[in-house]
């Protein structure tokens, strides 16, 4: 019994692990409401619809998905037509080499589109400034000798001063306000304003909406042109000329996700925003979506250990889930499977019920002895046992209680005519009290019982 319970528990654990693995690996069990902006993500806040729309609307024009560095895939001066660099996401992370290539790309007369929640990155921070603010001069601090007691060097002092100035500039470029709805407007466009409502699990929630500060300009002195606003108050879409090209910044990328792109009004809005694209190639940036911590450490001069055997597995969510499930299954096997194994118990055959065969042998014996009365008593006992077991009928202990009510109850449960049942009991009471029972009377009684067996349900 204990062995059977252990097997049931083990089977349940295996089924639970398999179900959890299917749930986690399939990724289709529920709707994910995180903002990914990825072209292959069909969840509400992915960018599959926007990505496909750009490819379909601009049929015949090359569409490139950048999966390597911009320095390798983004041409500096591609040709006569205006080409377009496009990034959509929470924040872009171009490194210094990508930033230099992107600057040359714009200077040559092309466009750079940033649809981002966080405006700050190497590229925008190096080109966008506030007109009314005088930026701090990059004055190198006085060099001091290293003080062992204080525990810092001159290089660290300079680094700290630099990042303080950089963060000061970033804070002035954009800001946020807190609300559940942002009504989108496009200047100089005859469009119906669209109220963009942030939702999580289909419920309306509040959100930090990013907007751009006024009086933004490029570092070469060109003032930013306001192309769109939120609530006609907060600027969320600008264009700044730099060199021969333009930089476009839109701070509400949520409007370009799958959930909102299903609305005709948003489709009109995004189509007008994308009307500023040039007629040339589109370079959709997927490379700079995630921050490269290894590259950052290399730039900082840190010593990186070589990649371990599990680093790739743990870096991928499906592989990481499978690895943890494998460890859990091994642990459960050690817990339950390490127990002492009991010798297999042989299967014992069930004992056959030989009551009927025994009754037949006894009846044949009575027939040979011509003891018909004992045979009638035996057949009546078998008949009553049949009523109790088959139809769950409680029979009285004395013959005086065997009345019409009992016969009606037996007839109702068995479906046999009540007259046949009364005849069986009446004949039995008569034959059980007389001294000699003839063969004909015994056979008649036997035939009535057999008839009951045939007619009963």
Count of structural domains, the chain: 3
CA distance 120 to 28: 34
Which range is least confidently modeled, 70-79, 107-116, 255-264, 382-391?
A: 70-79
The 10s digit of each residue's pLDDT in 284-305 is 999 998 876 555 444 444 444 4
Per the prediction, the chain carries an average pLDDT of: 80
pLDDT band at 345 (very low <50, low <70, confident <90, very high): confident
Q: Which domain holds residue 242?
A: 31-144+152-302
> Is 208 found in the same domain as 110?
yes
> Is 256 found in the same domain as 332?
no
Q: How large is the C-alpha radius of gyration of the chain?
A: 45
The pLDDT assigned to 397 comes to 75
Q: Which has the closest alpha carbon to 210: 246, 248, 237?
A: 237
The pLDDT assigned to 247 comes to 97
Q: Which of 302, 321, 337 is the last residue of a domain?
A: 302
> Is 312 found in the same domain as 277?
no
pLDDT band at 6 (very low <50, low <70, confident <90, very high): low
Task: For residue 313, tell me if it sits in a domain.
Answer: yes
> Is 62 found in the same domain as 208?
yes
> Is 76 found in the same domain as 167?
yes
Task: For residue 78, tell me if it sits in a domain.
Answer: yes
The pLDDT assigned to 292 comes to 64
Task: For residue 119, tell me if it sits in a domain.
Answer: yes
> Is 323 found in the same domain as 271?
no
The 10s digit of each residue's pLDDT in 69-116 is 898 888 876 667 899 999 999 999 998 889 999 999 999 999 999 999
In angstroms, the Cα distances linking 285 to 65, 104, 125, 276 are 6, 16, 18, 18
Is the CB of residue 111 less than 8 Å from the CB of residue 85?
A: yes
Mean pLDDT comparison of 145-149, 201-205, 453-457, highest-scoring range: 201-205
> Is 178 found in the same domain as 208?
yes
Mean pLDDT across the stretch 176-180? 92
pLDDT band at 5 (very low <50, low <70, confident <90, very high): low
Task: For residue 353, tell me if it sits in a domain.
Answer: no
- In this prediction the pTM is 0.56
> Is 172 found in the same domain as 116?
yes
Task: For residue 62, tell me if it sits in a domain.
Answer: yes
Task: For residue 9, tell me if it sits in a domain.
Answer: yes
pLDDT band at 166 (very low <50, low <70, confident <90, very high): very low
Q: Which of 294, 321, 348 is the last residue of a domain?
A: 348
Q: Is the pLDDT of residue 180 over 70?
A: yes
The pLDDT assigned to 140 comes to 43
């Amino acid at each position: 019994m204990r062995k059977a319970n252990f097997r049931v528990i083990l089977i349940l654990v295996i089924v639970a692990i398999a179900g959890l693995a299917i749930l986690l690996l399939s990724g289709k069990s529920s709707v994910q409401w995180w903002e990914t902006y990825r072209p292959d993500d069909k969840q509400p806040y992915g960018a599959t619809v926007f990505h496909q729309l750009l490819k379909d609307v601009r049929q015949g024009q090359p569409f490139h998905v950048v999966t390597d560095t911009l320095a390798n895939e983004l041409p500096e001066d591609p040709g006569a037509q205006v080409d377009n660099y496009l990034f959509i996401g929470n924040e872009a992370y171009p490194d210094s080499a990508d930033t230099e290539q992107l600057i040359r790309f714009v200077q040559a007369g092309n466009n750079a589109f940033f649809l981002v929640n966080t405006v700050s990155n190497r590229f925008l921070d190096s080109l966008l400034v506030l007109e009314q603010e005088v930026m701090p001069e990059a004055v190198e601090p006085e060099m001091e000798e290293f003080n062992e007691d204080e525990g810092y060097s001159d290089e660290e002092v300079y680094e700290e001063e630099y990042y303080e100035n950089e963060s000061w500039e970033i804070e002035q470029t954009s800001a946020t306000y807190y609300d559940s709805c942002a009504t989108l407007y496009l200047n100089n466009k005859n469009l119906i304003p669209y109220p963009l409502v942030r939702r999580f699990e289909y419920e309306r929630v509040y959100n930090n909406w990013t907007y751009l500060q006024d009086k933004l300009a490029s570092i070469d002195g060109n003032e930013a042109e306001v192309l769109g606003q939120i609530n006609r108050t907060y600027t969320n879409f600008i264009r700044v000329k730099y060199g021969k090209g333009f930089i476009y910044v839109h701070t509400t990328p949520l409007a370009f996700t799958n959930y909102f792109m299903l609305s005709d009004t948003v489709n009109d809005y995004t189509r007008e925003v994308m009307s500023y694209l040039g007629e040339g190639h589109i370079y959709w940036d997927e490379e700079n979506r995630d921050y490269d911590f290894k590259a950052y450490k290399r730039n900082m001069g840190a010593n990186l250990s070589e990649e371990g055997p599990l680093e790739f597995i743990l870096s991928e969510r499906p592989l990481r889930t499978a690895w943890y499930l494998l460890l859990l299954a091994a642990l459960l096997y050690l817990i339950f499977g390490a127990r002492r194994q009991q010798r297999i118990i042989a299967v014992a055959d069930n004992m056959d019920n030989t009551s009927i065969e025994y009754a037949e042998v006894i009846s044949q014996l009575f027939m040979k002895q011509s003891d018909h009365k004992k045979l009638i008593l035996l057949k009546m006992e078998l008949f009553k046992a049949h009523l109790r077991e088959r139809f769950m009928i409680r029979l009285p202990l004395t013959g005086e209680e065997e009345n019409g009510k009992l016969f009606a109850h037996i007839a109702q449960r068995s479906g046999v005519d009540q007259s046949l049942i009364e005849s069986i009991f009446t004949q039995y009471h008569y034959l059980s009290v007389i001294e000699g029972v003839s063969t004909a009377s015994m056979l008649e009684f036997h035939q009535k019982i057999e008839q009951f067996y045939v007619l009963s349900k």
